[in-house]
Amino acid sequence: RKRLGFKDKKSGSFTKNRDKSIIDIFRNVSENKCALCGVTKTFTNENEQEYFEIHHMIPYHNGIQYDNIANLVKLCPTCHTSLKKGRASKQTQIDNITKILTNNELVFQYTCAALGEDDIHIIAQRIYELLG
């Protein structure tokens, strides 16, 4: 939390808060479609829009440099939960990461560059290891 600039709840230090503008931009410019299961209808939010969650393929808690629009995908709430550490089996999570990378060329290219690797299976394994 300190490294990312979040405020420490206990001591009250680290007053810098995360800038969520990149999430807002991505939410508005990207297609309302789950990058994993492909669903386009979830439920409507308070703005009368379909609700999707924004997911950092290389998790944000690994460094602010991963707060990049090319590292983001939209997921339905169920698929987003399935990518949280321990919510599904290791193999299921790796398979889900691989599927997202396979279906999203921009995200795949970003993760290749960011992780210095071009083998999709190795990238998926490394992203799995970075989940929080």
Q: Kindly state the tokens that stand for 30.
A: 């990207």
What is the pLDDT, as a whole number, of residue 8? 53
Give tens-digit pLDDT for 77-118. Answer: 999 999 998 899 999 999 999 999 999 999 999 999 999 999
pTM summary value: 0.83
Average pLDDT of the chain? Answer: 88
Give tens-digit pLDDT for 36-54. Answer: 999 999 888 787 888 999 9
The contacts of residue 58 (CB under 8 Å, 6+ apart) are 66, 71, 111, 114, 115, 127, 130
Per-residue confidence at 10, pLDDT binned at 50, 70, 90?
Answer: low
